[in-house]
Amino acid sequence: MGRIFEVRKATMFARWDRMAKQFTRIGKEIAIAVKAGGPDPATNPALRRCFQNAKNVNMPKDRVEAAIKRAQGKEMENYDEILYEGYAPHGVALLVETATDNHVRTVANVKAIFNKGGGSLGNSGSVSFQFKKMGVFKLAPAGLNAEDLELELIDFGLDELGESTGENGEPIIVLRSAFTDFGNLQKALEDKGITPLSAELEWIPGTTVPVTDAQAEDISKLIEKLEQDDDVSKVFHNMG
């Protein structure tokens, strides 16, 4: 077991702005999950993942239930998940995940934000080769033996297990799996009665680009502007 250093951005939203954004993102994820696999979490692992993440950000139960009802309605928007690729200033690669009901609006907004932030929007495949899509599970360490857990989960797709810290500096255990093994590892944790703090699909950079504090500030301003767009779900980067 080693220490997992997660790539983080230097600036964050104000607490309430971030919470509202998280609720919107998870609401869209619920809609996509219900459309694809139905409203029953027992038979829809993607929806179970949404529930875990909603709980992690303290999303009220009534908002989760409302999102499920909206997803079953005939007038519910159909969201498409689109990945945009580009470069921030100073040669840092960015991947921008979106969930949108209007492709034209989204690409125009994303392109404008890149341009104003000193970056450039690229073509499909121009950046993603530098990243690997992986399942990432974050666990509270209380009551868990990390070494035993690592041995128990190897046969279920565990690729890497390590220690890290949460947003408030609290210790966490991070599990990573290949994208194709996400469901297997999720079920293995469920069978062991372990509820992750979060369960996400993330783009992990193969290598990182070292930057100065001043350069990191430039890049983080662009990332923050992207994340403030209503259609943007997540932004990943390889800033070291």
- Burial label for 78, CB within 10 Å (0-12, 13-18, 19+), is exposed
pLDDT over 70 percentage in the chain: 91
Which of the four pLDDT bands, split at 50, 70 and 90, describes residue 15?
A: very low
Q: Would you say residue 8 has pLDDT above 70?
A: no
Q: Using one digit for the tens of pLDDT, what is the confidence trace for 27-47? A: 888 988 998 889 998 889 889
Q: Is 70 helix (H, G, I), strand (E, B) or coil?
A: helix
Domain boundaries along the sequence of the chain: 15-72, 80-129+207-237, 130-205
Q: Would you say residue 214 has pLDDT above 70?
A: yes
Cβ proximity of 178 and 135 under 8 Å: yes
Q: Would you say residue 6 has pLDDT above 90?
A: no
Q: Matching CATH topology for 15-72 and 130-205?
A: no
pLDDT at 13: 37
Q: Would you say residue 177 has pLDDT above 50?
A: yes
Ramachandran area for residue 125 (φ above 0: left; ψ -120 to 50: alpha; else beta): left
pLDDT at 16: 42
* Domain 15-72, CATH homologous superfamily name and number: Integrase, N-terminal zinc-binding domain (1.10.10.200)
Measured CA to CA in angstroms, residue 232 lies from 22, 138, 159, 218 at distances of 11, 22, 28, 19
Domain 130-205 in CATH 3.30.70.980 = yes
How do the residues of the chain divide into helix, strand and coil, expressed in percent and rounded to 5?
A: 45, 25, 30
Q: Would you say residue 1 has pLDDT above 70?
A: no
pLDDT at 58: 87
Name which of 124, 131, 179, 178 is nearest 154 in CA terms: 178
Query: CA-CA distance, 130 to 126, in Å (whole number)?
Result: 9
| DSSP 8-state class, residue 180 | G
Q: Using one digit for the tens of pLDDT, what is the confidence trace for 76-128? A: 678 889 999 999 999 999 999 999 999 999 999 999 999 999 999 999 999 99
Q: What is the pTM of this model?
A: 0.83
- What is the second-level CATH architecture of the domain 80-129+207-237? 2-Layer Sandwich (3.30)
Total Cβ atoms within 10 A of residue 75: 5
Average pLDDT over residues 52-56: 85
Tell me what the pLDDT averaged over the chain comes to.
Answer: 88
Name which of 184, 91, 113, 90 is nearest 175 in CA terms: 184
pLDDT at 36: 87
